[in-house]
Amino acid sequence: MATQHLVAAAALVACLLVLPVHGRNITAILQGYKEYKLYNQYLSETKVCDEINSRQSTSMTILVLSNDAMTTLAKDAGDSLPAIKNALRLHSVLDYYDRKKVKKYGDESAATLYQATGDAAETTGNVKVVDQEDKNYGFSAATAGARICTVTKEVETHPFKFAILEVTAPIEFDGLFDVPSTANLTRLLERAGCKVFASLAASTGVLKSYEDAMDKGLTLFAVNDDAFSAKDVPDVKTMSKANLTKLLQLHALPSYNTKTSLKSVKGPLRTLAAKDDVTVVAKGDDVSLDTGKTRSRVASTVVDSVPFCLLTMDSLLVPPELYVGAPAPAPADAPQGSPPAADAPSVAADHADHKSKKPSASSAVASRPVAALAAAAVCSVVLASLL
């Protein structure tokens, strides 16, 4: 009988493992705490929330600040969103901590999202975990003599997975608020190996459109010089200015997006061409953009300076109508008596047919509860047969 109970328990565990698990969402959690409203607002504006939410399998501790303390941090950062983003990343610790753990293991160093970006000098992107007197503990910058910010409240703790802790003051150090200059976009593009892209943008006037959008929100997808000589890429030397402008506008979004935040985008994205031109295809850590005829992978982040993000792509994004393999338009006036030409499949039809074969996002979501109920039913049958 005992053996049957053990087998039944094992079966139950196996069944539960197939049930869907909903991931944590830091902004949704913090919406229930009005004292962290400003902190939560900056998490959203800087997209740090997407970086936190993308690490579902990583143990994390988020060091939150009250509205007053967050106001102090913003003032220290000169109200610069890129600088505030550095600080919020520093307050996102890549390990789990609570009072019990700190009292047991004492002082130690911990990595943060800021250290993970590679922007920090040496190990300045880490924080120190400090065991203080009595029941107190806190965190400080990794630099010598940094002030200790004591934990005033354990807001939420989910042992060894996720914690939200309120600290008395912002964790800061000299150099935290230093951010790269984005004043010269041409220079940024050239340093990234995108000289041809920069030259074409300047000659068509699209560069001015990029620059005008940088302060409002711009995500730019640039390609290196070799991408323009790849197979099936239209010859930009013979392309009309109108088509070249369209091509370059396709490589920019009038909104701020990081590579991480693009993973959560649903549906088509509107580019500077004022059309829903591209869709995001995300798989694991890889993110690609699809025009319906070409697909290009996001290779690296050159500059992430809210509200501007410069990313490089593996290949050129080409709209269907400019794709080298696209059918030529039919002549306006066909000669009388000429045999009718065979209908060529349209690019739009091909794309629509391709999309129709994919299950919709709504059907995929709707199927999850059904799958969960089916799994639960199987569990009940298994348990009933074993007990």
| pLDDT level of residue 233 (50, 70, 90 thresholds) | confident
* Residue 21: per-residue pLDDT: 34
Give the pLDDT mean for 91-101.
98
| pLDDT level of residue 169 (50, 70, 90 thresholds) | very high
Give the pLDDT mean for 206-231.
95
Give the contacts of 83 (CB within 8 A, at least 6 positions apart). Answer: 77, 176, 177, 178, 179
Least confident of 170-174, 210-214, 371-375: 371-375
pLDDT single digits (tens) 174-192: 999 999 899 999 999 999 9
pLDDT single digits (tens) 296-344: 999 999 999 999 999 999 999 988 888 665 454 444 444 444 444 444 3
Q: Which amino acid is at 78?
A: G
CA angle 299, 302, 305 (to 5 degrees): 130
Asked if the model's pLDDT at residue 367 lies above 90, the reply is no
* Residue 324: per-residue pLDDT: 64
* Residue 28: per-residue pLDDT: 97
* Residue 57: per-residue pLDDT: 94
Mean model confidence pLDDT for the chain: 83
Contact 81, 98 (CB under 8 A): no
Sign of the alpha-carbon torsion through 26, 258, 286, 120 = negative
* Residue 337: per-residue pLDDT: 41
pLDDT single digits (tens) 16-34: 333 333 489 999 999 999 9
Going from the N-terminus, what domains does the chain have, and what CATH number goes with each?
26-167 (2.30.180.10), 185-313 (2.30.180.10)
Asked if the model's pLDDT at residue 11 lies above 90, the reply is no
* Residue 325: per-residue pLDDT: 55
Give the pLDDT mean for 72-100.
98
Contact 248, 200 (CB under 8 A): yes
CA angle 212, 217, 218 (to 5 degrees): 75
The token duo for 301 is: 């982040």
Asked if the model's pLDDT at residue 377 lies above 70, the reply is no
Say if pTM beats, i.e. exceeds, 0.95.
Answer: no
* Residue 276: per-residue pLDDT: 74
pLDDT single digits (tens) 30-76: 999 999 999 999 999 999 999 999 999 999 999 999 999 999 999 99
Asked if the model's pLDDT at residue 382 lies above 80, the reply is no
* Residue 266: per-residue pLDDT: 86
Give the Cα separation of 309 and 288 in Å (integer): 16
pLDDT single digits (tens) 262-285: 999 988 999 998 877 899 999 988
Query: Which range among 90-99, 117-126, 237-246, 269-278 has the greatest average pLDDT?
Result: 90-99
Element of type H or E holding 10: helix 2-17
**124 half-sphere exposure, CB direction, 13 A CA radius:** 17
* Residue 231: per-residue pLDDT: 84
Instruction: Tell me, rounded to whole angstroms, the distance of Cα 328 from its chain centroid.
Output: 38
Asked if the model's pLDDT at residue 2 lies above 70, the reply is no
Is the omega angle on the peptide bond into residue 359 within 30 degrees of 0, that is, cis? no
The CA distances from residue 183 to 179, 188, 229, in Å, are 12, 9, 30
